[in-house]
Structure 1
Amino acid sequence: MKVEKDSELDQATLRIIVAGCALLWFGVIGFLPGQSIDPYVPVIIYISLFMLGSILLRMAIARWPGHYPARRILGMVYDYSGTCYGLVVGGEGALPIYAVMVWVNLGNGMRFGSRYLAIATGLALFALFMVYLLTPYWRAQPYMVLMLMITSTVIPVYAHILLKRTRLASEQAIAANLEKSRFLAQASHDLRQPIHSIGLFTACLREADLGVDERRLVDNIDRSLLNVSQLFRSILDLYTLDNGRVQPKYETLHLGQLLADLVRQNTEAARWAGVELRLRPCNHWVVTDPGLLATMVQNVLSNCFKYAAQRPVLIGVRPRGQGLAIVIYDQGRGIAEEHLPRIFEEFYRVRQLRDKDVEGVGLGLSIVKRLGQLIDLQVMLRSQVGRGTAVTLHGLPQAAPQRLRNRDEARQNGLLSGLQVCLVEDDRNVLLATSALLERWGCVVQAESSAEDLRSDCDIIVADYDLGTRASGIECIDSIRQQRGWEVPALIITGHDIEKIHAALHDRNIAILSKPVRPVELRATLRALRDMPTAATHRAAVAEATTRSGTG
């Protein structure tokens, strides 16, 4: 949780520090050659009492934090009273205390705003005038006093002008940032749709009975689309990180299973790059954010596919200290030592002559580093030219083993034959692509472009979040579940901010996928929804009721 900075408490802390410096100053000048400590004893005693009062004031601010205008003005009066007394009693030796007056003036203005700057300036001028009246040395130096009073006026006025300009520039920057956020939000939604639909259409083509040449063309389309999709995701990841909208959600998970899933999801990309992905099995359980960790590993693998093509890549897990480390080795060309200090900078790429066909803008490793900071993972990179590169994600805390969900690979690899899916999507291309792909997988699809007056006896609901002005995907799912009288498994596919959708769900037990969705993700999610206990129980009940009606 982000804690708001307490400016008044900072000012109180600085007051104690300055009082300590003043005490040290008078202690030093009292022992200089030709000087006596006696004239400064009253000042030293007063500053000691002033410091004690400052400590008590700070304790009160810490005990009752907040914005109290009267307390702030009281603090200014307290500061100017102390400096005024020091200047009166200390004579010419106390002139450096005038710097404290300037600090009080500017400090209050910078911390609390122009209104307090004006009040502080008025109090400073009054304090200087009182010192002039009470100090013979100052009355003998009228031009010096005039200069100090002019300085005490001009500096705050200039500070006020700077504050006003800074505030205006800050407001303009905030407005521009909001406009950028709105533009990126809309652009990301509009760009996700075509990327999403193209990916589904190419998946449909892949399921068809194609010849060698046609399949090679589909591979080229898919590979290009994957590069665009990864670049798009990297830009969005960077944007969400810059806006502080990524918050870790920790879970206990089987690390070997997560890595095995990532290897399966990258099978096609590895094949296109000529990379043999090797995973050393592990049975460790860890506590981390699975989505952020998967993104980190995915970005490292993407770099391996680009810069270590036609070479094997090894993924392993090693104990390291009190935790575990994921290590990803490639046997690519390696990175020269002079580039290593900048390898995690945004948009920094190690370019060589042969890299002209390598896609990317140099965001992958910078995102890995920043995500690692979010979930307390250290990211280390070792590389040797001609030998390859090793990226280590270190600091995964181990967890006690739990019951591992049984995963029947034969069943997982099969099609979703006979599964009745209600698909609701208002974008025609996405509707056609998704419907065609689901039918290729053996599903019985009820395709709808609107949620209005919708009725369905489906096994699973797949809905876009944004269905126009009349209903959202969540409202569509709620309506069908109410009609059916049970919690039909449901999936929201969205081009909007995932965090926003999570907040709107309110524990409705609805899965979410972010566009552009890879077909392997969609198929795995549908299988998981099909195998949910509520879905299995309902299918068994329907089958039993059908059997009874048939025998009756």
Structure 2
Amino acid sequence: MPERRNTPDEDFDTEKSQAVVRIIIVGVAILYSAAQVQIGAAAPYQTGVFYFILQYLVFSLIVERWISLRPGENVPRRLITITADIGGLTYVMSVGDATFTPLYSILIWVTVGNGLRFGVAYLKISTLASLVSIAVTTVFNAYWRQNPFMVMTLVSTTVLVPAYIHSLLEHLRRAYARAQEASLSKSRFLAQASHDLRQPIHAISLFTACLRDARLGAEELRMVENIDRSLQSVSRLFKSLLDISTLDSGKVEPSREPVAIDDILKDVWRQNADAAQLCGTELRSLACDAVVTTDRALFTTMLQNIVSNAIKYAPGRPILIGCRRRGGRLAVQVYDRGPGIATEHQAKVFEEFYQVRRRGDRDIDGVGLGLPIVRRLGDLLDVAVDLRSVPGRGTCVTLGNLPIARVPRPAADRPAHEPTATISGLRVLLVEDDEAVRLATANLLRRWGCRVQAEPAIPEAVADFDLLITDFDLGNGVTGTDCIAAVRTRAGRDVPTVVMSGYDEARVREDLGSPDVTILSKPVRTAELRSVILAARTGRRPPAASV
């Protein structure tokens, strides 16, 4: 496996720390040299060494400033500093006598330090340069020539210590590679399992939506509602798994823009109102007219996870979503009057898969990924996440440090008309390779009054239609991207399109290469599907998607 390369921030930290330590050591060397000048003032070389080290201090300060102005990996700069460090030490040890032999310890520090900070290649370069330094010093320093066993000891130390460090670095590299591979395997497994299981759950949820409109009796309708609630619990679990695998992939890039925070609060309230009602919870959201700069979808996911957690762990207790202004920043807070979290658990709830459970506690949906996702998204968006909880009194989670944008509040979207009335008569081309999903989706759309042409693959001929709904994976190496291109070519226009997929939006969006295509993650809620179809048809912006 290739050797890991540092990120620009890591390069800056290692170079900067090396420069700071160099300045400290040179300062100590100046004090040591000054003491030697006072002790042996008759030796003229000692005064020369003292002034040389002073000049080297100036060089060290210049290097530190260079790193501050131009951070990141800079190979020429590293080679210059290695040459200068070892060359300067060689000069001082060569012109001095026994009094400057202790500077050899700095020579070893330079050798080992470069290896530990910059990698094996620099360790080898520094070791070779140090051996040359010892050879040059031995030639020009009478004291060293008179003590060959001391020189042999220094040579063996210069070889053995870096060799041991090299062995440790190789073990560390292999261990890191194994850990990385294990982490990637876990992420791939989570992503694939989430994708494969989403498909049947998506089909079941669509069939359930069809049953709900099938004029069932009261008892049968309650059973359908129970099935739907169970499916929503499974859906939330898959969403958490997919969010984690997406964050692990490192492909989540924030897209910051001015966002009316009240729009996000209303979205989250609407998403959780039914779940809160079922639990007997009063969910309130206080209006806020602030506009903040953030990624709408990612911040919505953060707030949604927090509110969902509050509903699960504080059933039947009131929950309040509100905002506080702090200088030029905004904080969004979620209060609940649940049982609270004991102090020893409060830091751990942000760890993946950690759940606060006690003997005899009731079963709660989820696997302990909600708050870890919040913390990781907070790091990505520079949003401060703070949790305060008092056992027996409740919990408050704060999403702070949101910059307030100096722009007028965006105009609200036009109020949505009744979806069933608006999409009735809509001509839809549905492309879905899974028979169960295709049948369920077509049945649901027809119940809403749409005229549907359902196809298992890209059709050779298409009738006139208003909207294309396609799966992303269509089998045999064909994707939704291919489907959209082919259908639009045959239709002779850029028809509005909705893509449904079990993969994360970033991956699908990258493949599509188009910002005007709406993406829905399976399993899709029927209300979300109707809303997106309406938005795609009317040209309005669809609701924010999650990670």
* TM-aligned CA distance change 1:196 to 1:154, over 3 Å: same
**Structure 1 counterpart of 2:539, which letter?**
M
Aligned equivalents of 1:287 and 1:53: distance in 2? 43
Which residue, 218, 237, 256 being the options, matches 2:262?
256
1:529 maps to what in 2?
A: 536
Contact 1:265 1:520 in 2 (8 A): no
2:57 maps to what in 1?
A: 51
1:326-341 matched pairs, under 5 angstroms = 326-341=332-347
1:284 maps to what in 2?
A: 290
Which stretch of structure 1 is more off in the superposition, 53-62 or 436-445? Answer: 53-62
Pair 1:362-2:357 in alignment: no
1:546 maps to what in 2?
A: none
Aligned equivalents of 2:28 and 2:63: distance in 1? 18
1:422 maps to what in 2?
A: 429
1:45-84 matched pairs, under 5 angstroms = 45-54=51-60, 75-84=81-90
* TM-aligned CA distance change 1:16 to 1:230, over 3 Å: same
1:3 maps to what in 2?
A: 8
Deviations 1:464-522 (A, max 9, x none): 11112353212222332233333211111112232122223333621111222222211
* TM-aligned CA distance change 1:356 to 1:95, over 3 Å: farther
2:443 maps to what in 1?
A: 436
1:517 maps to what in 2?
A: 524
**Structure 1 counterpart of 2:538, which letter?**
D
Aligned equivalents of 1:291 and 1:281: distance in 2? 19
Q: Which runs of 5+ in 2 are unaligned?
A: 1-6, 542-547
Aligned equivalents of 2:308 and 2:62: distance in 1? 58
Contact 1:87 1:131 in 2 (8 A): yes
Q: How many corresponding residue pairs?
A: 529
**Structure 1 counterpart of 2:111, which letter?**
N
1:382 maps to what in 2?
A: 388
Deviation at 1:151, TM superposition (A): 0.8
Pair 1:449-2:456 in alignment: yes
**Structure 2 counterpart of 1:3, which letter?**
P
Contact 2:258 2:293 in 1 (8 A): yes
Aligned equivalents of 1:136 and 1:17: distance in 2? 30
Contact 1:378 1:393 in 2 (8 A): yes
1:162 maps to what in 2?
A: 168
Aligned equivalents of 1:293 and 1:63: distance in 2? 33
Aligned equivalents of 1:23 and 1:448: distance in 2? 82
Aligned equivalents of 1:350 and 1:213: distance in 2? 36
Contact 1:262 1:298 in 2 (8 A): yes
1:207 maps to what in 2?
A: 213
State the SS of the aligned residue for 1:512: strand
Aligned equivalents of 1:513 and 1:66: distance in 2? 41
Contact 2:281 2:319 in 1 (8 A): yes
2:498 maps to what in 1?
A: 491
State the SS of the aligned residue for 2:281: coil
**Structure 2 counterpart of 1:429, which letter?**
A
Aligned equivalents of 1:64 and 1:226: distance in 2? 48
Deviation at 1:152, TM superposition (A): 1.0
Could you state the TM-score of these two structures normalised by the residue count of structure 2?
A: 0.87
Which stretch of structure 1 is more off in the superposition, 173-182 or 467-476? Answer: 173-182
**Structure 2 counterpart of 1:163, which letter?**
L
Contact 2:26 2:53 in 1 (8 A): yes
Deviation at 1:84, TM superposition (A): 2.2
State the SS of the aligned residue for 2:366: coil
**Structure 2 counterpart of 1:443, which letter?**
C
1:31-42 matched pairs, under 5 angstroms = 35-36=39-40, 39=43, 40-42=46-48
1:548 maps to what in 2?
A: none
Aligned equivalents of 1:99 and 1:153: distance in 2? 14
Aligned equivalents of 2:221 and 2:135: distance in 1? 90
Deviations 1:442-474 (A, max 9, x none): 222211110141413111111011112353212
State the SS of the aligned residue for 1:316: strand
2:250 maps to what in 1?
A: 244
Pair 1:469-2:476 in alignment: yes
* TM-aligned CA distance change 1:336 to 1:67, over 3 Å: closer
Aligned equivalents of 1:201 and 1:514: distance in 2? 17
1:549 maps to what in 2?
A: none
1:539 maps to what in 2?
A: none
Q: Which runs of 5+ in 1 are unaligned?
A: 535-552
Q: Which has the larger radius of gyration?
A: 1
Which stretch of structure 1 is more off in the superposition, 490-499 or 177-186? Answer: 177-186
**Structure 2 counterpart of 1:159, which letter?**
I
Aligned equivalents of 1:413 and 1:314: distance in 2? 32
Contact 2:242 2:504 in 1 (8 A): no
**Structure 1 counterpart of 2:375, which letter?**
K
Deviation at 1:54, TM superposition (A): 4.8
Contact 1:334 1:388 in 2 (8 A): yes
* TM-aligned CA distance change 1:407 to 1:439, over 3 Å: same
Which residue, 316, 321, 325 being the options, matches 2:327?
321
Pair 1:107-2:126 in alignment: no
Which residue, 294, 298, 302 being the options, matches 1:296?
302
**Structure 1 counterpart of 2:133, which letter?**
A
Deviation at 1:83, TM superposition (A): 1.3
Aligned equivalents of 1:298 and 1:396: distance in 2? 17
Which stretch of structure 1 is more off in the superposition, 290-299 or 84-93? Answer: 84-93
Root-mean-square deviation (Å): 3.0
